Amino acid sequence: MKMQEKFIKFITDNRLAENGDEILLGVSGGVDSMVMAHLFITSGFNTGIAHCNFRLRGADSDADEDLVREFASAYNVPFHFSRFDTEDYAIEKGITIQMAARDLRYSWFEKTMEEYGYNLLALAHNKSDRTETILLNLTRGTGITGMAAMKPRSDYRIRPVIFASRDEILEYARQYGVPWREDKSNQSLKYTRNKIRHKIVPLLREINPSFDDTMWENAGRFSEYEQIISQYMAGVREKSVKQINNDIHIDIRALVSFSPLKSILFEIFTPFGISPSGLDEVGALLSSESGKKIITRTHIIYRDRKELIITPGSPAEFPAKVINKPEDLNKTGLTVKAEIREISHPFKPPASRLHITLDAELVKFPVIIRRWKHGDRFIPLGMNNFRKLSDYFTDRKFSVPQKEKALIMESDGNIIAILGERIDNRYRVTSETRKILEIILKEPFLISGS
C-alpha cells in the first residue's frame, strides 16, 4: 500500500478528519511536517499552514521560515507565521527553552485557529517520535498516561502520520521531491530526547529488530489500560472528591477505602505538582493533624479536619498596606470601587459580603489592611461581645486555606472588617449614619462560601 493510501486510511479508521473540516498544519520545515503537509494538500483536504520562528538558530531559523512560506505559496495554501523571542520568554517564566517553545507554539496555534476558523490542528509526530516519548516518559515516572502518549487524536489535535516510521517518511520525501531542512540540533546529545533517539533506541532495535512495531502495539494496549484506570478513578472521584470554587476537597475516609491507595494518590495528586517520590508525603498527610500542609510549585495541599484540600498557588506574603485616605483604597488591587458618599434613610445595606458599607464618620484614616494574627478580636455584626478571630473562624467552620487567606481592615487599633466575610458591629450603618464608606471587593476576597 502506498504512503498516501495508508495516510487516508489511517485518517478514516481513526476518525481524525472528515469533509468540511478546516485543518491547520503545524509545519516547521523538517521532513516530518513537510511530508505531512504534502500528503494533506495532495489528498484534497482544506488546510492552512502555520510556522513558528523561534529565533533560536539565527539564519537557519529564517531559512526554515522561507522554505515553508515558498512551499505554501507553490501550492496556493494560506500561510500563517509568527516570530518569537523564545529565550527572553524562557528567562521570564523560569523554564527551559524547550518548554518555552512548546508554550509559545501551542498558544499561538490556538489563537490562529480561532481567528481564521480552523477546527483541527495537525501535528507531524511519527511512529519513532511516539517510541521515544514513551521511553522518555518511562524515565520520568509519568504513569500509564505517559505510556499511552501521542494518541492519534487528542481533542482537536490530530497526528495523521504517527503510523509512519522516520524511514518511511524520508523515503516519501525523496520519491516525491518534497523539500525539507534538517535542524542540526536534532543531532545534539545535550538534549535527553536525542540521547534516547541516537543511543538507546538503536540498542533496543538490535535486541528486537521489530522494536518500533512492538512499541506501537504496546502504546495501543497502554491506551486501553488508561481507559480502564480512568473509569475506575471516575468512581473514586465521585465518592471522595468534590470541587468548591477553585479548591479541591477530598474526603479522607472515603479515599482510603479504595485500593491500591498509592496508585490512586498518584492519579489524583500528580496533576497538582506532586512527584512520584512525593507520594509518601501525601500518604503521611492522610494521618497527620489538621493544619499540616504540602507546598508544591503550583498548589498547596492542606490537612483540614477530615479532608485534604488542594488550593491553587503558594502561600503568598501579604505586606500590610497603609491606606491614608479613602480614594487610596482603589489603588490596592483589592477593590472594584471604594468611596465615601451620603445616604438617605431608610437605607438597606447590600446583602453581598463583597459589598461593604461602614459608617464613614467612625472610620479613622489611615486604615491598615493586613493578614489576621492570633489574638485579633472584633465584635461580629449583630453581636455585642468581642470574639477572637480564631474562635470566629472555628465557629464558621473555616478551612485552613480560608484562614490563611483572610484579610482584615484595621482603624485606630480596631478591626473594622474581615474582608469578604463580616464587618465589626461598631462600624455598622445605623439610622444616625449620614455618610458611608462603601467598598466593593473583587471576587477573590470572598473567603467564606456559606
Residues 179-214 have pLDDT tens digits of 999 887 777 787 788 899 999 999 999 999 999 899
Question: If you count DSSP H runs as helices and E runs as strands, how many of each does the chain have, helices first?
Answer: 16, 21
Distance separating alpha carbons of residues 79 and 77, to the nearest angstrom: 6
Q: What is the pLDDT of residue 293?
A: 86
Q: Is residue 32's pLDDT more than 80?
A: yes
Helix (H, G, I), strand (E, B) or coil at 409: strand
Confidence band for 448, pLDDT divided at 50, 70 and 90: low
Q: What is the pLDDT of residue 192?
A: 85
Alpha carbon separation from 313 to 83, 92, 123, 241 (Å, rounded): 31, 18, 32, 19
- pLDDT above 70 covers a percentage of the chain that reads 98
Strands 435-441 and 335-342, bridge-based pairing: antiparallel
Whether residue 52 contacts residue 121, with contact meaning beta carbons closer than 8 Å, is answered with no
Q: What is the pLDDT of residue 159?
A: 98
Distance separating alpha carbons of residues 240 and 313, to the nearest angstrom: 23
Element (H, E) at 9: helix 3-13
Residues whose CB falls within 8 Å of the CB of residue 226, separated by 6 or more in sequence, listed in order: 144, 145, 147, 148
Q: In the predicted model, what is the mean pLDDT of the chain?
A: 91
Q: What is the mean pLDDT of residues 50-67?
A: 93
Q: Is residue 449's pLDDT more than 50?
A: no
Residues 250-298 have pLDDT tens digits of 999 999 999 999 999 999 999 998 888 889 999 999 999 888 888 887 8
How many Cβ atoms are within 10 Å of 84's Cβ, its own excluded?
19
User: Helices 166-176 and 31-42 sit at what angle, rounded to 10 degrees?
Assistant: 60
Strand order across the beta sheet in which 335-342 lies: 335-342, 435-441, 355-359
Domain ranges of the chain: 3-221, 245-312, 321-445
pTM over 0.75: no
Q: What is the pLDDT of residue 447?
A: 56
Which of 313, 310, 315, 314 shows the shortest CA–CA distance to 249? 310
Distance separating alpha carbons of residues 370 and 165, to the nearest angstrom: 61
Residues 397-413 have pLDDT tens digits of 888 888 888 899 999 88
Residues 315-328 have pLDDT tens digits of 556 788 889 888 88
Q: What is the pLDDT of residue 185?
A: 74
Q: What is the pLDDT of residue 358?
A: 96
CATH numeric code, 3-221: 3.40.50.620
How many Cβ atoms are within 10 Å of 188's Cβ, its own excluded?
11
Q: What is the pLDDT of residue 389?
A: 93
Q: What is the pLDDT of residue 134?
A: 93
Q: What is the mean pLDDT of residues 332-358?
A: 90
